[in-house]
Structures are given as C-alpha cells and as structure tokens.
Amino acid sequence: MSFTLAIVGRPNVGKSTLFNRLVGRKLALVDDQPGVTRDLREGDAKLFDLRFTVIDTAGLEEVTDDSLQGRMRRLTERAVEMADVCLFLVDGRVGITPSDETFADILRRKNARVIVGVNKAEGKAGEAGALEAYSLGLGDPLRLSAEHGEGMDDLYHVLRPLEAEFAPREAENVPLTDQDIPEDSEEEDNEELWRPSQSKPLQIAVIGRPNAGKSTLVNKILGEDRMLTGPEAGITRDAISIRSDWMGTPVRIWDTAGMRKKARVTEKLEKLSVADGLRAVRFAEVVVVLLDNAIPFEVQDLRIADFAETEGRAVVIAVNKWDLESERADKLSELKEMFARLLPQLRGAPLVTISGKTGRGMDRLHEAILKAHATWNRRVPTARLNTWLSAMTEAHPPPAPGGHRIKLRYITQAKTRPPGFVIKCSRPDELPESYKRYLINGLRDHFDMPGTPIRLFFRGQGNENPFREKKFHTPSRLRKHQGKQVKK
C-alpha cells in the first residue's frame, strides 16, 4: 500500500459506507442510526489502479471528557495523526454545521493534509451543501455519493499524485487453510513454509462474551490504547484487525464484538456485530477464546470454542482478570477439570491465566499461541504414521460387525492447517464413532498435537473381490465340457 487515508467526520455522514466501497467489501457495519462505528478499522483500498490503506473512524463528537464519546473522539484524533491524508466527510443534504466548523479547526491545528468530501451530494438536493463546503477553507470540495459510487473518479484524480510521495507498503495476505500435501510424503515439518513474517503475519482472533476484556487484552498486546475500552459491555461492534510486532512475532490481531446467546441478540446492529466476529474467526489461524474468570465456561463460551474448532482453527483458552482471583491454586484446578469435562473435542488445548489490565501472563499466552500455530501446521511422515497405526490396532483391534473384522491397512497425512489424515480400510461406513475418537486421541498423544482440530477420513481399500456381485456368460464349448463331466 502506498499511503494511508483516514475518513473522518461527524456521525452518520456515510464514512463506513465510503470505506466499504473503497475496500470493495462490506467490512464495516452500516446502519441508519448514528454512532455505529466506534473503533478504528483498517482496510486495503482499491480505486481503479490506485492501491492504498484506508481507515474508518468513529464520528467526531464535541466531547472531551472520559465518557464513551470522549474516548471515541480521542481515538479518531489518533487516526488523524497516523494517516498520511484525511478525507473530511460532510453531509451534503444537511449542509455545514457548527460541529463541522469545529472539526475543521481541529484538522488545521494538527497540520493534517485534508481533502473535503461532500457525501450524499447526488442530484439537486446536495448542491447547496457542496457550495457551503467552500466556507470551511480547506480547498475545493469533492461531490461524492458513497451509496451510489458517484464522484469516485474525482477522488481518484486527487489521490493519484500522493502515490509517488509515500513508500510502498506490503499488502495483507489472507491466511491459507486446508493445505494439501503429497500422498506418501516423507518430509518432516518445514518451518520456513509457515513461520510468521512481515509479509505473512500470524493471524489471531480474540473472541468471547461481552465485557470479558477482549479490547483491553488487544491494547496490552499492541502496547498502546488503540482499541476503545471501558466498563460498559458491548463497546466493540466491528471486528477490528491491527498489525503489530508482538514479542518479535509479526501478527495481525482481530478484536471482535462480544457474542451473547442468540436468543438475547435482538437488535439488528448487534446481529451484524456477531456475524462480523464469526467472520473474523474464518480469517484467523489461531483463535484465543477469552473467558471471564468470575464466570468461566458458560454455555455461550462453550459454543464459541466449539465454533472455532469446527472451523478448523487452532484454539487457545485464556482466562482473563486473573489479578482479581485470591484462591488461585484451587481455581486453576477447577478450571482444568471443567475444561476437560466440557470441551473434550479440544483435549490438550493450552489454558492460560492472564490479566489484560496488568499484563500478567502475556508471555505465557504468546508462547501458547506460537505452540498452537506450530501444531496446526504439523506434518508427520507416512512411515511413522503406519508404525503408529499397527501399534494402535494391535493394542485395541477394530470391531467386527456381523462377524467380519474391519481391517485398517494404511494411513497417510493429506492436509495441514489443520492436520488431516486418510485411513484406507475395509467397510469404512461400519466403523463406529467411538473407535474414530480412539484414533484421534492416539494421534494427539503420540505425535504431540494437543488441542488442534484433527480431521480423520476413512476410505475403502479398493482391493475387495471385483467379481463378487457380477454374473458372467460361459462360452459354449466350456458348457459342453462341463456337461460331459456331469454325465460321467
């Protein structure tokens, strides 16, 4: 990406709608009510042949205290300082308000490079607002319609000269999952293929119930108050991604909205927020399921963790607010027992106690995430797998439905991210689920793959008698020979 553009303005002037149009996807939540966006959201923008980074910001409010609106304003002001250029958006149908004039003065004091955009200016209804925008003294305004895509060519011509002024920046790479590997491969793990780098950062999603401390944890990882936090539940609405360097590891962290029980999610906006968080899980490689130490492993926590496992992502369980716990030894034993009993599908997954507020346990969380990511990319040679399969079937032979024992003849790894294995056997449809779980647990224990999802596929061997069900025509001379033998 060549430069960074921050979209700023009053609430409900269409900043998120324009952001979505520039990135080409509905990444930011959009609704008629003002104040939907609260955090900073970055995206890779594409405007004809121009490539740049765009930041969606919260609506500027004339509040400077420590209220939610005040914290949102400070966050937006930080975005202005981070960006190379600001697009100051005003509503063409409302015209220039005193708030617009106040925020224009703020942008001047910050010496920001500003482009004025008059949104909702399609038709005659926006002509008056476009003319009023000259009074801001920030240059010639652009008439835009983020909803209908009007004025994008004018915006392109204004931004085009900026490309040469800023050094190119690497674009975000979408993580790869379900990677096929050659059958009968004897290669061990090749760490160079999946080790996090600046071009391919480790993708981490932090998910959990509302007020579990997700944004506070992300701020501690980033080392700055980048995400909006506070005692109010449900502050975060968008799934926000931020790139950073965490203890020497290049990462992209997704902070998501809190996920309540489906029956309690009634507002349209909250439904969009939850859907946005679920989508962030699909973009991640490692999912950190954040629990509140006071009320861990509620039904919704279990559903969230199960969803991450079903999507095939490496999972780390983090118990937040550990600094408030007095009986830590007893509490930790209770947590481990609950984890093993309530989430058997994540057997062996790391469980880390942390405090997002004080930073306690952040080194252990970092180590657990790296280990889970390495396990998620694990490759096991076919020879070792078949030696293991022989030992497993000898210790506990497969069942014999109808008196015919099922034979497991061969195993190989077919996929990584997460690990997937193929077993060739006789009558695969008759193998019970209990024996499949026995094999999956054996793979976890023997090859040190705790917690990561393991996919096991069974295929027919293909060497059964091919003539069993077929009837063949006997040649006439052979039938005569058979008749003579019968007469004798």
Distance CA 462, CA 413 (A): 19
User: CA–CA distance from 100 to each of 96, 283, 338, 455 (Å)?
Assistant: 6, 37, 54, 56
Are 196 and 243 in contact, with CB atoms under 8 Å apart?
Answer: no
Would the annotation count 99 as a binding residue?
A: no
Q: Which of 6, 111, 20, 115 has its CA nearest to residue 53?
A: 6
**Which residues in 22-73 belong to E strands, given as ranges?**
41-47, 50-56
Distance CA 103, CA 97 (A): 10
Would the annotation count 122 as a binding residue?
A: yes
DSSP of 358-416: T-TTHHHHHHHHHHHHHHHT----HHHHHHHHHHHHHHSPPP-GGG----EEEEEEEEE
Strands 179-180 and 85-91: unpaired
Would the annotation count 120 as a binding residue?
A: yes
Would the annotation count 336 as a binding residue?
A: no
Residues facing 208 on adjacent strands? 290
Name every residue whose Cβ is closer than 8 Å to that of residue 360 and which is 6 or more positions away in sequence: 322, 323, 353, 354
Would the annotation count 119 as a binding residue?
A: yes
207: which 2 tokens? 């998910």
Would the annotation count 465 as a binding residue?
A: no
Would the annotation count 258 as a binding residue?
A: yes
Would the annotation count 215 as a binding residue?
A: yes
Rg of the chain in Å (alpha carbons): 30
Would the annotation count 91 as a binding residue?
A: no
Would the annotation count 273 as a binding residue?
A: no
Are 285 and 417 in contact, with CB atoms under 8 Å apart?
Answer: yes
Would the annotation count 111 as a binding residue?
A: no
Would the annotation count 211 as a binding residue?
A: yes
Would the annotation count 16 as a binding residue?
A: yes
- Return the residue matching tokens 């077919």: 414
Would the annotation count 57 as a binding residue?
A: yes
Would the annotation count 60 as a binding residue?
A: yes
For residue 161, whether the previous peptide bond is cis, meaning omega lies within 30 degrees of 0, is no
Would the annotation count 285 as a binding residue?
A: no
The 10 Å Cβ neighbour count of residue 425 is: 20
Q: How deeply is 182 buried, as exposed, middle or buried, from its count of CB atoms within 10 A (0-12, 13-18, 19+)?
A: exposed
CA dihedral of 435, 441, 444, 446, whole degrees rounded to 10? -80
Would the annotation count 15 as a binding residue?
A: yes
Q: Which of 318, 50, 275, 68 has its CA nearest to residue 166?
A: 50
Would the annotation count 224 as a binding residue?
A: no
Would the annotation count 210 as a binding residue?
A: yes
Would the annotation count 398 as a binding residue?
A: no
Would the annotation count 321 as a binding residue?
A: yes
Distance CA 230, CA 253 (A): 19
Would the annotation count 333 as a binding residue?
A: no
Are 425 and 461 in contact, with CB atoms under 8 Å apart?
Answer: yes
Would the annotation count 38 as a binding residue?
A: no
Would the annotation count 359 as a binding residue?
A: no
Provide the CA 394 distance to its chain's centre, in angstroms: 41
Would the annotation count 190 as a binding residue?
A: no
Name every residue whose Cβ is closer than 8 Å to that of residue 76 and which is 6 or more positions away in sequence: 8, 40, 57, 58, 59, 60
Distance CA 36, CA 167 (A): 33
Would the annotation count 257 as a binding residue?
A: yes
Mark the binding-site residues for GTP, compressed into ranges: 9-16, 56-60, 119-122, 208-215, 255-259, 320-323
Mark the binding-site residues, compressed into ranges: 9-16, 56-60, 119-122, 208-215, 255-259, 320-323
